[in-house]
Amino acid sequence: MQGKLTLAGLAVSAGYVALSGGASGPAASFAAPAAKAIERLKAKERVVNGTGMGSLTIDSAGMHDGALLIRIARAGDPHRVKCRVTVSAVSSDQSRSAVDCSQPGGTSAMRRVGIQALDLIVREHVAATIEKRAYDTDRVADSMIGLVVTSRPAIAGELARQAK
């Protein structure tokens, strides 16, 4: 486990540092009314360790334009990243959420990987909070490994260009 966290952390931390857009992952559905899901997300703060990105504090930063803002802060880093979480009703007792951690700025490969990694972290925060269960660090770390592996050629090319 420690080896895969280190591998994911190396690539993903570079992306986190580069953040000052990216594609969001698939929407997730939950057996909770939208209002209850939003209420749970607004009230939840958690510290996440084991993703390879250091100690992360995840909490709500309020609502903006119909979306909940989820803030991510890395221990010792004054920079905060905000992701948008849109929660919508599917029925009276079902809701759906979509996460978007896109940030203003460039579109480098490392930046895209960083944004996609943040999407993974926030999607798990959303799911764990709405479902009232523990945060699954192993699931996030495994997904990050897949992200790093599939992004490796683009990152390697970008690093080679930067080294020149």
Cα 102 to Cα 91: distance, rounded to the nearest angstrom: 28
Q: According to the model, what pLDDT value does residue 25 have?
A: 62
Q: According to the model, what pLDDT value does residue 76 have?
A: 86
68-76, long-range: CB < 8 A, 24+ apart: 68/38, 68/41, 68/42, 70/41, 70/99, 70/122, 70/125, 70/126, 72/118, 72/121, 72/122, 74/16
**What is the fold, at CATH topology level, of the domain defined by 2-163?**
Alpha-D-Glucose-1,6-Bisphosphate; Chain A, domain 4 (3.30.530)
Identify whether the C-beta of residue 148 lies closer than 8 Å to the C-beta of residue 8. yes
The rounded mean pLDDT for the chain is 83
Q: Where are the domains of the chain?
A: 2-163
Match 């895969």 to its residue by tokens. 4
Tokens found for residue 78: 């004054």
For the stretch 6-16, pLDDT in tens is 334 434 443 33
Q: Whole-structure pTM over 0.85, yes or no?
A: no
State mean pLDDT over 66-89. 93
For the stretch 33-43, pLDDT in tens is 999 999 999 99
Q: According to the model, what pLDDT value does residue 60 have?
A: 95
Q: Is the pLDDT of residue 73 over 60?
A: yes
Q: According to the model, what pLDDT value does residue 61 have?
A: 94
- pLDDT bracket for residue 118 (50, 70, 90): very high
